[in-house]
Amino acid sequence: RVLSYSRLILVSPLSSWWSHVEMGPPDPILGVTEAFKRDTNSKKMNLGVGAYRDDNGKPYVLNCVRKAEAQIAAKKMDKEYLPIVGLADFTRASAELALGENSEAFKSGRYVTVQGISGTGSLRIGANFLQRFFKSSRDVYLPKPSWGNHTPIFRDAGLQLQAYRYYDPKTCSLDFSGAMDDISKIPEKSIILLHACAHNPTGVDPRQEQWKEMAAVVKKRNLLVYFDMAYQGFASGDINRDAWAVRHFIEQGINIVLAQSYAKNMGLYGERVGAFTVICSDAEEAKRVESQLKILIRPMYSNPPINGARIASLILNSPDLRKEWLVEVKSMADRIISMRTQLVSNLKKEGSSHNWQHITDQIGMFCFTGLKPEQVERLTKEFSIYMTKDGRISVAGVTSGNVGYLAHAIHQVTK
């Protein structure tokens, strides 16, 4: 019997099963924070990962979250498993938050919402569900650009990625005609992913009239719409305004699927609170869809973690806490809007001749500065300012204390 070369390598007692395993590339988004942590420059700024910071640059735990946590701790509840689909009070409240309490789809019960592991986990459940049950197409159309993790999520779920024009680098705003042109040519019954608000990474959102036109085309092309809503409330400060597109599409008779995250709008990042929703024809269909979602979730992690969902549920379902939450999420959104304004005025003060209007036109946590990779590299190397290579900054990482430094640095690398 002849032993093949590879078998000799594999079965040598000294060799590892893993000798051919390549070193994975550092994760572009979370890797930025790790590099930032290693930097010893006192002026360093982390404009990488999208986590909100207060005006002192510190993580912010919402007061309503603290109150909810105290209430939960006092109740001394047991630690029994949640159902596979998660905490019912949470999933119901999450659906209502997205759809609106007056939504026909919500009131009729023709939806299923399952708890997911924040935005990523919810997106992945949906992607796996579509791979298994959406037989019309394997293609998911993402806006160009999209959140970096969208592509590997859908790919690992077994789907293929395509793109439609979205961001216009010349104007740093929406390429609406390009988007409409591309979307109108997407093969029927493909899957299209839309960012509900505060597009990541560009911060560029369609206006309501533009959403209306997109909905009409999407409906005409009979596309399966997948909304990713990670910033409801966090974008404009108004939860209803930020959910407008989602609600409009549903009202137009488009049965969307939706991933929600509470990482940013409730500051519950590490508790992994999210939800995945399927709008169905009727409540009976919703039950069947739910049963299949359970079959997908069970071999992934059995059932979801309770802590964050309990906090979110208490906040959404208690009138006082909910009121307080709405005020706090608005204040986070307002601080970000104010930083955008200050950044632009500081750039003008530095003497920059570029047009920086896109910084204040864009919305949400992120801003596509328009900086090129070489300029980004200089910002990191010369000024210890960390951001992703695409020139995206997390405005949440800007404070009144460092906005001047940031403007100065940007001016230096762009003048």
Partner 1 sequence: LAAYRTDEGQPWVLPVVRKVEQMIAADHGLNHEYLPILGLPEFRAHASRIALGDGSPAIGENRIGSVQSLGGTGALRIGAEFLRRWYNGNNNTATPVYISSPSWENHNSVFVDAGFKDIRTYRYWDAAKRGLDLHGLLEDMEKAPEFSIFILHACAHNPTGTDPTPEEWKQIAAVMKRRFLFPFFDSAYQGFASGNLDKDAWAVRYFVSEGFELFCAQSFSKNFGLYNERVGNLTVVAKDADSVKRVLSQMEKIVRTTWSNPPSQGARIVATTLTSPQLFAEWKENVKTMADRVLLMRSELRSRLEALGTPGTWNHITDQIGMFSFTGLNPKQVEYMIKEKHIYLMASGRINMCGLTTKNLDYVAKSIHEAVTKIQ
The residues that touch partner 1, with contacts defined as CB under 8 A, are: 10-11, 13-24, 27, 30, 34, 49, 51, 59, 61, 65-66, 69-70, 72-73, 76, 78-82, 117-121, 124, 149, 152-153, 155-157, 263, 267-272, 295-296, 298-308
Q: Which residue has the tokens 């007692």?
A: 13
Q: Which of 67, 228, 242, 356 is catalytic?
A: 228
Minimum separation from the CB atom of position 262 to partner 1 (A): 10
183 vs 266, beta carbon nearer partner 1: 266
Q: Is 147 a catalytic residue?
A: yes
Instruction: With residue 30 as reference, give the H or E element that holds it.
Output: helix 30-38
How many alpha carbons fall within 13 Å on the CB side of residue 140?
A: 28
Radius of gyration of the chain (CA): 23
Q: Is 323 a catalytic residue?
A: no
Q: Which of 175, 182, 211, 264 is catalytic?
A: 264
91 vs 346, beta carbon nearer partner 1: 91
SS3 173: strand
Q: What is the dihedral of CA 127, 128, 132, 134, to 10 degrees?
A: -10
Minimum separation from the CB atom of position 176 to partner 1 (A): 31
Rounded alpha-carbon distances, angstroms, from residue 314 to 94, 222, 232, 355: 11, 38, 18, 45
Q: Is 189 a catalytic residue?
A: no
Minimum separation from the CB atom of position 49 to partner 1 (A): 7
Minimum separation from the CB atom of position 260 to partner 1 (A): 15
Minimum separation from the CB atom of position 199 to partner 1 (A): 19
Q: Which of 67, 147, 211, 356 is catalytic?
A: 147
68 vs 333, beta carbon nearer partner 1: 68
Rounded alpha-carbon distances, angstroms, from residue 117 to 228, 268, 274, 307, 393: 14, 11, 6, 12, 25
279 vs 306, beta carbon nearer partner 1: 306
Cβ-contact 242, 276 below 8 angstroms: no
65 vs 410, beta carbon nearer partner 1: 65
Taken in order 92, 98, 101, 102, the sign of the CA dihedral is negative
Label residues 88-123 b or e (16+ Cβ within 10 Å = b): eebbbbbbbbbbbeebebbeeebbbbbbbbbbbbbb
Residues with catalytic roles: 147, 228, 264
